Structure 1
Amino acid sequence: MWWLIEELESIRRFLGMGGDVLIAIFILSFMLWVVLLERWFYFVAVAPKAAKSALNNWMIRKDHNSWNAKAIRQEIISKQDIENKRGLPVIKVLIALCPLLGLLGTVVGMIQVFDILAVVGTGSPRAMASGISKATIPTLAGMVASLSGLFFSTRLDHQAKMTTQKLEDQLKHIA
């Protein structure tokens, strides 16, 4: 249990080195990962059942070739496509916000460096070090959060397209 306390203390020190903007990046990346995990859970547990239900509803129909049947088939595919892509725009917005918050951290850190320079002058590099860390750490954290989320977002986007295409192909073979 002592190792958990040490880990939490190191996280607290890291967040302190990056300033308030780093805490905002942490909260934003937490929200990003909550939405990413929700979408992953959807594709693992919910999407196969929804596709099977849509396929069963289509197979119950007696008519598969009329104009009305084709419109209903297109509606089934469109509804499933909307469900598959739900949440993906939110993920993309959160990914885009991460580096922007990192840049905000850079600006805040550099303002702190200039404040220290105005008070102390250029003779004390140690005094400027905290401002420089508050300028670089949020930028690094924003980019890391953005890049890690981007990889999984691309995978989820691909999964959404493949799931919709698979349903469309299955409904074509029945028609």
Structure 2
Amino acid sequence: MRDRLIDLYYQMQDFMAAGGPVLWAILALTILLWSLICERYWYFFRRHPAEFKAALSAWHARADKQSWYAQSIREAWIADLDIGLRRFLPLLNAVIAILPMTGLLGTITGMIQVFDVLAVTGTGNPRAMASGVSAATVPTMAGMVAALSGLYFATRLNRLAKTEVRSITDRISRLED
């Protein structure tokens, strides 16, 4: 088991070296992406139900539910819950949009390495150009894979937030009668 972990460590180190320095930025963005996704799921399934229950019980405890003032309080509570549900979703979408662009930055830096090798050694040494080609393709692939892996969850979280806000509005409105 220990040997497999050491092997995995060296393979990861080789992969990061092949992709160049931009791959470290992609790794950092990917960690941020998955941290945001995990935080949002934790909020949706752990923290939000308690907040909704508190708002619902506070609305149910009110004697006046028909006045303009009561309706304004209801709308404020719904807006607070909506803000909590949508928090960090724009940042999540921005990170997903930035990941492929960071991969393309890796392509540019890798091509610069290829051109440096061409300037120094000429066109006759393909082995010298291989590291630049690797540094050009690996970050692009890594950025695209990381963005695609988070895209499904970001779309699902956005849809979940919209559905939950509609449900909150309906459930609090039902008590107005």
TM-score (norm 2): 0.96
> Does 2:16 match 1:20?
no
- Equivalence for 1:83: 84
- Equivalence for 2:138: 137
Give distance in 2, aligned partners of 1:162 and 1:19.
42
Number of residues of Structure 1 aligned to a counterpart in Structure 2: 175
Q: Secondary structure at the match of 1:64?
A: coil
Deviation larger for 99-108 or 159-168:
159-168
1:44 CA displacement: 1.1
1:56 CA displacement: 0.4
> Does 2:114 match 1:74?
no
- Equivalence for 2:99: 98
Segments of 4+ in structure 1 off by > 2 A? none
1:100 CA displacement: 1.0
- Equivalence for 2:64: 63
Identity of aligned residues (%): 47
Structure 2 counterparts to residues 1-175 of structure 1, below 5 A:
1-175=2-176
Give distance in 2, aligned partners of 1:55 and 1:73.
10
Give distance in 1, aligned partners of 2:116 and 2:69.
71
**1:47-105 Cα distance to aligned partner (Å, 9 max, x none):** 11111111001001001111111111111100000000011111111111111110110
Amino acid at match of 2:9: L
Q: Secondary structure at the match of 1:62?
A: coil
Q: Secondary structure at the match of 1:63?
A: coil
Amino acid at match of 2:45: V
Amino acid at match of 2:66: N
**1:102-160 Cα distance to aligned partner (Å, 9 max, x none):** 01100000000000011111111111111001000000101111111111111111111
Give distance in 2, aligned partners of 1:99 and 1:7.
25
Q: Secondary structure at the match of 1:29?
A: helix
Q: Secondary structure at the match of 1:81?
A: helix
Cα RMSD of the aligned pairs, angstroms, is 0.8
Give distance in 1, aligned partners of 2:3 and 2:40.
35
Amino acid at match of 1:97: I
TM-score (norm 1): 0.97
